[in-house]
Amino acid sequence: MKIILLVSALLVSTPILAADKDAGKAKSATCVACHGSNGISAIPMYPNLAGQKEAYLAIALKAYRDGTRKNMVMAPMAKPLSDEDIANLAAYYSSLDPSGK
């Protein structure tokens, strides 16, 4: 019961950010080198971001930023991102066509 109350309190006290795709596009300038200008990577070892689920992208970026998901490339990229930046990036990349068009 205590866990349910704690989770409920966190959800109520956590502000929900309205994501801005345009701000996400502007913030994506550093992402382009690995993930492509349209969210489709030309390098096989880097994932495509276009069309990924928004919640997945936000969770992944927060995990890289907070160190719970380890990646030597992504950790320093995600470290300076605010929750708002992450929400905007997730909204932007999820809005892109996964075919790259």
- Annotated domain spans of the chain: 19-95
Report how far residue 99's alpha carbon sits from residue 12's, in angstroms, rounded to the nearest whole number. Answer: 37
CA dihedral 39, 40, 41, 44 (to 10 degrees): 140
Q: What is the mean pLDDT of residues 65-79?
A: 95
Q: Percent of the chain scored above 70 by pLDDT?
A: 83
* pLDDT tens per residue across span 7-53: 544 454 444 557 899 999 999 999 999 999 999 999 999 999 999 99
Q: Is the pLDDT of residue 87 over 70?
A: yes
Report how far residue 101's alpha carbon sits from residue 76's, in angstroms, rounded to the nearest whole number. Answer: 29
For residues 78 and 68, the answer to whether their CB atoms sit within 8 Å is no
Q: What DSSP element (H or E) covers 66? A: helix 54-66
Q: What DSSP element (H or E) covers 21? A: helix 21-27
Single pTM value for the model: 0.80
* CATH architecture assignment, domain 19-95: Orthogonal Bundle (1.10)
